[in-house]
Amino acid sequence: MTADKEFKKVTTNTLQKMKAAGEKISMITAYDYSFAKLFDAAGIDIILVGDSASNVMAGHTTTLPITLDQMIYHAQSVVRARERCLVVTDLPFGSYQSNSEIALASAIRIMKESGAHTVKLEGGEEIIDSVKKIVSAGIPVMGHLGLTPQSINKFGTYVVRATEETEAEKLKKDALLLQEAGCFAIVLEKIPAALAKEVSESLHIPTIGIGAGGACDGQVLVMHDMLGINTEFKPRFLRRYLNLDEQITGAIKQYVSDIKSSDFPNENEQY
Binding site for ligand KIV (CB under 6 A): 29, 48, 50-52, 90, 187, 189, 210, 220, 222
Phi, psi dihedrals of residue 180, rounded to the nearest 5°: -65, -35
Distance CA 211, CA 220 (A): 9
Residue 213's CB: how many other CB atoms inside 10 A? 17
- With residue 207 as reference, give the H or E element that holds it: strand 207-210
Is the CB of 26 or the CB of 52 nearer to ligand KIV? 52
Residue 189 annotated as catalytic: yes
Nearest residue to ligand KIV, by Cβ distance, number only: 50
Supply the minimum distance, in Å, between the C-beta of residue 83 and ligand KIV: 22
Is the CB of 50 or the CB of 181 nearer to ligand KIV? 50
Supply the minimum distance, in Å, between the C-beta of residue 271 and ligand KIV: 44
Distance CA 132, CA 182 (A): 7
Supply the minimum distance, in Å, between the C-beta of residue 122 and ligand KIV: 8
Supply the minimum distance, in Å, between the C-beta of residue 85 and ligand KIV: 15
The DSSP letter of residue 240 is: P
Cβ distance 220 to 196 under 8 Å?
A: no
Is the CB of 119 or the CB of 187 nearer to ligand KIV? 187
Distance CA 54, CA 34 (A): 18
Task: Kindly name the residue from 189, 201, 232, 246 that is annotated as catalytic.
Answer: 189
Is the CB of 234 or the CB of 252 nearer to ligand KIV? 234
Which residue in 101, 96, 111, 105 sits closest to 144, CA to CA?
A: 96
What are the catalytic residues? 189
